[in-house]
Structure 1
Amino acid sequence: MVLTIAKFCRMATNTSAFKFIDIGVNLTDHVFRGVYHGSKKHEDDFYDVIQRSKDIGMKKMIITGGNLKESLEALEIAKSHEMLYCTVGCHPTRTNAFEKSGDPDKYLVDLINLAKSNSDKIVAVGEFGLDYDRLQFSPKETQLKYFEKQMDLAEEAKLPLFLHSRNCSQDFLDIIKRNRHRFSGGVVHSFTGSKEEAKEIVDQGLYIGINGCSLKTQENIETMCSIPTDKLMIETDAPWCEIKATHAGHRFIKTTFPSKKKEKWEKGFCVKSRNEPAHIIEVLEVMAASRNEDITQLADVMYQNTMSVFFPDKP
C-alpha cells in the first residue's frame, strides 16, 4: 500500500511517529526560498518545508556549511529555529577559498573562532574531505592540504566530523588514520563507496550516512546492507539526492508526497524534483526493506547513533 503524506501523518498520530535527525540538509540553498538559478519561481516556502519535516517526526536537522560564508549563513538559519543546527568548514571542491582569501591561516582561524563561539548551534566540522570526481573546482593538492589542515579546526573546537569522500578512498583513509587521535568521531555522509571502503571507515570508529544517492544501484544497496546498524545514520542532502523512479531502491517506497512543478507551485505541495527533509521517510523505507529490518527499530537506532555523536549533551 502506498501512503500519501497526509495519510501517513494521520497514521503516525494514531501510533507513534518515527524520530528523525537529518544529518545533512542544505537549507542555505535558495530553492527553499523559491529562487532557482537566480530567478524567483514561487513564494518562499521555507517554513512549510520545516513543518512537513516535523509532521513525519523530524526532531533535529544539521545544516551543512560549505565554506566560511556559507557556514555563517547556516548559523543564522540555525538560530531561527530550535530544531536546527549546523556545521562549519570548507567543502573539498571549495578549498580554493583558503588561498583566494589572501590569508589561509586567518581563514582557518575565522572558522575556528566561529565554531568555538557558537557551540550551542554548531555541532560538527564540515562538510570537508576529498572529492576527486570534481577536481576542476579545486585541484587534488589543494584538497589534500586543506582537508588535513581542517583537522586543526576539529581539534581546537572539539567537534566531531561531517565528512565527504568521492573516488579518493585511500588518500581519504590515510588522512583519517593519521589524524584519528585528534577527533572524537564523525560520519562519512552521502556514502556511495564499496563494501570494502565502508568496512575501513567503520573500523576507524566512524559512522556512515545514507541518503538517496547511497541507494541508486543494487550494488549501492548491497553495500548499505553490509554496514552494521549501530554504525548507520540517515539524511536527505536536500535539495539534492532525491530517490528517483530509476533508482534501484525506489520500489521500496511506500510514502509519497503530492508535488507540483515549481512554475505551478501551490501551498501545501512539495516542489517536483526538489528533495526536502520530509522525504527522509522514503530513505528509511528503502533501508528497512532492503535490510529486512523492523522499520521502527532501525529508525530508533539511527536516531540514537546520531544523538551520541552530535548531541551528547542535548535533549
Structure 2
Amino acid sequence: MATQNPLSAGLNAVPNGTIDGSQLKYADIGINLTDEIFRGVYHGKRAHEDDLQHVVQRALDAGVRKMMVTGSDLEESKKAVELADLYPGLCYATVGVHPCQAKSFSKHPDGPDALLSELTKLAKEAQQEGKATAFGEIGLDYDRLHFCDKETQLIYFEKQLDLACDLGLPLFLHSRAAAEDFERLLKSRLDRLPKRGVVHSFTGTLEEMQGIVALGFDVGINGCSLKTEENIAVVKEVPLERLQIETDGPWCEMRPSQASAQFTKDAPPLPKSVKKEKWVEGVMVKGRNEPCAITQVAHAVAATKEVKVEEVCEAAWRNSIRMFGLGESPPQ
C-alpha cells in the first residue's frame, strides 16, 4: 500500500479545535482499526460505505494525535502495519497473536514454527521502518477457553514473549482471569524487557493491578475498565505514572447504564450517532466505539481520581511516548 499522510488522504491533520474546544491531546494505544466494521461491513455484510477516513478525521478533531492499531493475529498484524503506512505519524502497529487466536499456530499449513518465523519477519521489518512499536496483542485469557485451551495459550504466550525480548519491543498485553500464570511468565523475563509494556483493557482486581505496577508495567484503561463500581475503585488507585488510555474500539463503548456514566458529565459531547442502516456521511454508528470517544475515557478517569482532565491527558501521553515512542522524542 502506498504511503499516504493524513493531509493527502483528505484529512485535516491539524484540526480547528478539539471537540470540547481545548488543546488536549491523546494517544489511543488500543484501537482495532483493521476491523471491517470501520469499512462499513458488519458480520460479513455491507451496511454502508467505507467510512474509515471519517473515523480518522473525527479522531483528529477530538485531539487524538497517535493511534496504536492492534494486531490480533498474523493477518490483522499485517493490516495494522498497512494502516501505519497509510497514516504515517498518526498510526502505529502492534504485531502478535491474541491468546484467543493461539490455535492458529497449530493450524498453520507449515506448522507453528513457520508462523513464528513470519511474525518475526513482519515485526522486525515494521520495527525497522518505524511502523511497529509494540509486540502484541499477546497474553492469557482463561475467561474464554472455548476459543483456545489453557495449555496452548501458555505455550504460545511464552514463545511470543521470548520473540518480543529478542526484538527489544515493549509488550501490548492481554490478561483475563489468569493473573497467577500471567505474572509468573512476565517475572521470569523482566531482565530482558527493559521497556516493559502495558496491560491493556484492564478489568482485574486491585491486587492484580498493584502486582502489574510492581513489575514495572503500565495499565491501559478504556470503557471496559470503567463498567462497574469495582472497576471504578481500581482505576482510582492506578498511579498516574503508570496510566495509559485507549478506546479498544469498535468494542468497549462507554454506555449510560455503566458505572462510569456518573463521571462523564463534564466530558465533551460526541458527534451524532445513528443506526448503521441509517448511516450518512459524517455521523458515528451506534454501538461502534471510535477513537474520538477517548475523550470520554479521559474525563471519566479524571473524575474518578478527582484530578483535572489535563493532568490525566498529560500523564497518559507522556507514559505512551516513553514506552512506545510513537514517532516522538522521549519526554524529559
2:321 aligned residue (302, 307, 315)? 307
Question: What residue identity is the alignment partner of 2:289?
Answer: N
CA shift for structure 1 position 10: 6.3
Tell me the CA shift for residue 145 of structure 1.
Answer: 0.5
Q: Distance in 1 between matches of 2:118 and 2:166?
A: 12
Cα root mean square deviation, aligned: 1.6
Match of 1:35 among 35, 41, 44: 41
Instruction: Say which of 101, 120, 127 aligns to 1:94.
Output: 101
How far off is 1:293 after superposition? 0.5
Task: Name the CA distance, whole Å, in 1 between partners of 2:250 and 2:218.
Answer: 22
Q: Call closer, same or farther: CA 1:90–1:11 in 2, change over 3 Å.
A: closer
- The answer as to 2:278 corresponding to 1:264 is yes
Equivalences, count: 307
For 1:131 and 1:304, locate their aligned partners in 2 and report how far apart those are by CA, in whole Å: 29
Residue 313 of structure 1 deviates from its aligned partner by 6.1
Structure-2 residue corresponding to 1:4: none
Relative distance call for 1:130 and 1:67 in structure 2 (3 A) is same
The match for 1:55 is 61
Off by >6 Å, runs of 4+ in structure 1: none
- Counterparts of 1:132-281 in structure 2, within 5 Å, are 132-184=142-194, 185-253=196-264, 254-257=267-270, 258-281=272-295
Structure 1 residues 11 and 23: alpha-carbon distance in aligned structure 2, compared to 1, 3 A threshold: closer
Distance of 1:153 and 1:63 partners within structure 2: 20
The one-letter code matched in structure 1 to 2:55 is V
Written as runs of structure 1 = structure 2, the 5 A alignment for 1:119-138 is 119=127, 120-138=130-148
2:17, 2:320 → 1: CA distance?
A: 24
Structure 2 Cα separation of the partners of residues 68 and 35 of structure 1: 21
Unaligned runs of 5+ in 1: 1-6
Give the deviation of 1:187 after TM superposition: 0.2
Instruction: Give the Cα separation in 2 of the matches to 1:313 and 1:62.
Output: 12
**Aligned counterpart in structure 2 of residue 283 of structure 1, from 274, 293, 297:** 297
Q: 2:125 matched to 1:117? A: yes
**Cα displacement (A) at 1:156:** 2.0
Match of 2:60, as an amino acid? K
| Pairwise CA distance, 1:255 | 2.2
Equivalent-residue separation in structure 2 for 1:156 and 1:80 (angstroms): 28
Deviations 1:122-154 (A, max 9, x none): 000000000001111110000001001101221
Letter in 1 for 2:268: T
Q: Which amino acid aligns with 1:147?
A: F
Unaligned runs of 5+ in 2: 1-15
SS at match of 1:117: helix
Structure 1 residues 24 and 156, CA, compared in 2 at 3 Å: closer, same or farther? same
Matched to 1:299, the amino acid is C
107, 127, 132: which one aligns with 2:115? 107
| 8 Å CA contact retained: 1:8, 1:255 | no
Q: Does 1:80 align with 2:76?
A: no
Change (3 A) 1:299 1:176: same
Q: TM-score, length-normalised on structure 1?
A: 0.94
**Helix, strand or coil at the partner of 1:18:** coil
Instruction: Give distance in 2, aligned partners of 1:165 and 1:191.
Output: 8
Change in 2 beyond 3 A, CA 1:11/1:125? closer
The verdict on how the C-alpha distance between 1:311 and 1:230 changes in structure 2, with shifts beyond 3 A counting, is same
